[in-house]
Structure formats: C-alpha cells, structure tokens
Amino acid sequence: MKRIGVLVFPGFQILDLAAIAAFELANMHLERPLYRVEMLSETGGPVASSSGVTVDSKRYTASKFDTLMMTGSLTIAPTSEALCKILRSGRRNARRVASICTGAFGLADAGLLDGRRVTTHWAFAQELQRSRPLAKVQPDRIFINDESLWTSAGMTAGIDLVLALVEEDLGVDMARLIAKKLVVYHRRAGGQSQFSALLELEPKSDRIQLSLAYARAHLREGLAVEELAEVAHLSPRQFSRAFKAETGQSPAQAVENLRVEAARALIDEGRLALGVVARETGFGDPERMRRAFLRTLGQPPQSVRRVARQQAMAA
C-alpha cells in the first residue's frame, strides 16, 4: 500500500485536489487498493479552502508516506513553522515530496528547494526565485522532477504531475488509461510551455506587435534585427531597445521562442521528419533546433515527438 499524504491549510486552493482522482482511478483499474490518499493538516479536523469548501483532515504524524504533496493557494503567505516541520519530516520519511502550483512556496519556506530545479504557476515564478535565490526556478515548465522532489505549474498542471507519478509507479500504459478516464491528454510533457510565446511577450505598441506578427509569418527566413526593424519603421538600435523594453526579451530570443513553438506544433502533428521541421521553422538543421529546444523546453525534439506519439496512440 502506497500512502499519499496531501497537506492542506486554511485558504488552500480546492482545485489542487482534483489531481488525486488519478490515484483513485489507478486503484479502480488495478482492482486493489494500491494507493491510500489521506488529507493531512497541522491540527487535524475540518480545513476550509479559499472557496469556502471544507475538507476533513488528519493531524500529521511523522509516519512513513510514499508521497507527501503540498497544495497551493491563490495568494502567497508565509508557511507556518508547523507546516515547514511537516515538510522537512516528509523529506526524510517519504519516498517523494511534491507540490502543486504555489505549494512550491511551502517547500521553499521549509528549505527544500535550494539547488533544485523547480517550477510553479508562471505568475509567481519570479517571486519564488527572488524569495529563494538558490533554487533553479524554471517558469515555463508544466512539472519538474528533480530526483525525489516534484513540483508543478498552476492548478490543472497538478493532474499532469500525478499522472507522471502513476507512470513512474505503474508504467506508461496505466497512466495512459487513467488519462483517458480523466478526459485529458496522456499527460503533457514536463517541458511543455505553460502559455504561448506571443502571450508571454505581450507587446504594448503597434510597431512591436507588427514586427512579431511578421516574424511569426516568416519563420523560414533569416529574421535579422535589421529586417524586423524595417517592418516596425525604426532603426535597428531603436527597435532593439523598444523591443526589449516592451517584451523583456531580445528580438533574437523572441524569434527563437516563436520557432520552438512552431516546431513543437509540427512535431506534435507527427507528419514531418525532424530535419524538415527544422528547415520549415527557420532553424536550418536539426542540431540547431535541438539546442534551442533544450534551452527553451529542457528536452530535445525527440522527447517531444515520443510524447506526441503516445498521445496519438491514446486518442
């Protein structure tokens, strides 16, 4: 029996609990209780979520858990010392420690993130990095597994994380079957983006928006700064300065992100060889595309293709 402890606290986000359905469905398909999910809190008893829905909980004791999961909340507040002690105890006594969404701040307050690759909801990633400078925060990831520490992005990304935990325990076929029951894709790859490249950039002026639209429509071309500046009717120096001020990225970084996004979409379709995808999206060759994928997504195109094929088989 694998005990799954889910830590809740006053004001936790109720949607985070949706992910535990994957454990329940695993038990159903196995026709035996492999997972036992327990709601845990500092004191035990009813705990109200931010929406007002209350769940019952047990008081945490330092007994053995297979997995200890920390829920998140809509706003960030310091984690109580009692909860920090629970998380540190779980680090010693549980096989895996995980967080959903802003639950990563609880792990940070407990001192569990230093030196680790982690993620959280994109809107709070910079705050997490500022509060824990020794953590390696990767804001554009769905979930991250760093040895026995697991963290996920916002809210529904917790489902992807739990499916990955089930896959680690029971294999890809069981995870795929549960995903179908949940009516979700066989989990998104951990390196998949939380949001689109253009949404991330959010340019303010028409000139920068026009240059980005041009870049997206002409990814096969060189897209030098001079070319984009001409579209925006600015000098290259003015364009680069304005682009950085409005988007927080250099033109070269933005173009690379657009190319990675377009290449990933073509890879997901599964019709083109990777060399063709590289040419169609302006990378020129597979090696250059591979390096860009590693910088942006943390995984090579081959991994993205493998997950896409698994999803196609599930469908």
Active site residues: 101
Helices of type H across the chain: 21-30, 81-93, 103-109, 125-131, 157-170, 172-182, 197-201, 206-217, 225-232, 236-247, 251-269, 274-280, 286-297, 301-314
Residue showing tokens 């706003």: 75
Angstrom CA distances, 234 to 224, 229, 239, 249, 251, stand at 14, 5, 6, 17, 13
The span from the first CA to the last CA of the chain, in angstroms, equals 31
Rounded Cα gap, residues 292 and 283, in angstroms:
9
Strands 94-99 and 54-55: unpaired
Compute the radius of gyration of the chain from its Cα atoms: 22
Residue from 70, 75, 152 nearest 118 by CA = 152
Integer Cα distance of 235 and 225 in angstroms: 9
45: CB partners within 8 A, 6+ apart: 56, 57
Put residue 64 in one of left, alpha, beta given phi > 0 → left and psi -120 to 50 → alpha. beta
Distance CA 205, CA 212 (A): 11
Determine the Cα–Cα distance for residues 313 and 183; give it in Å rounded to an integer. Answer: 14
Q: Which amino acid is at 267?
A: I
Tokens of 150: 């697991």
